[in-house]
Structure 1
């Protein structure tokens, strides 16, 4: 039986940004927490919405659902193909 959990993130994103066009490897973000329900994630968001830093990027909030015990990145670090020099590799968050 799978369990869905909810990750609350905040990114430095301006208004009107299309999530499908964002290069998520290049965006500064903070994982705020992992929650058992979407309602708890939303409550954490609401409690932080007007705090310093977060208030400057009001459109940066995202709640992502994910399956517990589901691993990703089976092929290794994203974006590192063909870049053997660590200094030229994309920034990871």
Structure 2
């Protein structure tokens, strides 16, 4: 089972408004964390240090297979 790690950043702009940036996809959690450390002091990111997230995904697996409801 092969996994990848998606690093992204969410800036909460209030009132159900978010600005999401996909930063990169990495072959290990450690590489995703290293990427976060490289950019966390860059403009925009430095002002929102708690907006970083790393999610693990299994390759060739369906996500949201049952759909979603608003």
Query: Under a length normalisation based on structure 1, what TM-score does the superposition of the two structures give?
Result: 0.63
Please list every run of at least 4 consecutive aligned residues from structure 1 whose deviation after the TM superposition is greater than 4 angstroms.
none
Cα RMSD, aligned residues only: 1.9
Looking at structure 2, the residues matched to 78 and 51 of structure 1 have their Cα atoms a distance apart, in angstroms, of: 36
Match of 2:4 in 1: 5
Larger Cα Rg: Structure 1 or Structure 2?
1
Looking at structure 1, the residues matched to 39 and 69 of structure 2 have their Cα atoms a distance apart, in angstroms, of: 30
- State how 1:43-58 maps to structure 2 within 5 Å: 43-58=34-49
Task: Say which structure is richer in strand.
Answer: 2
Looking at structure 2, the residues matched to 78 and 28 of structure 1 have their Cα atoms a distance apart, in angstroms, of: 21
Looking at structure 1, the residues matched to 7 and 60 of structure 2 have their Cα atoms a distance apart, in angstroms, of: 18
Looking at structure 1, the residues matched to 25 and 69 of structure 2 have their Cα atoms a distance apart, in angstroms, of: 22
User: Does residue 38 in structure 1 map to residue 37 in structure 2?
Assistant: no
Instruction: Rate the CA distance shift 1:74–1:26 in 2: closer, same or farther, 3 A.
Output: farther
Residue 31 of structure 1 and its aligned partner are, at CA, apart by 0.8
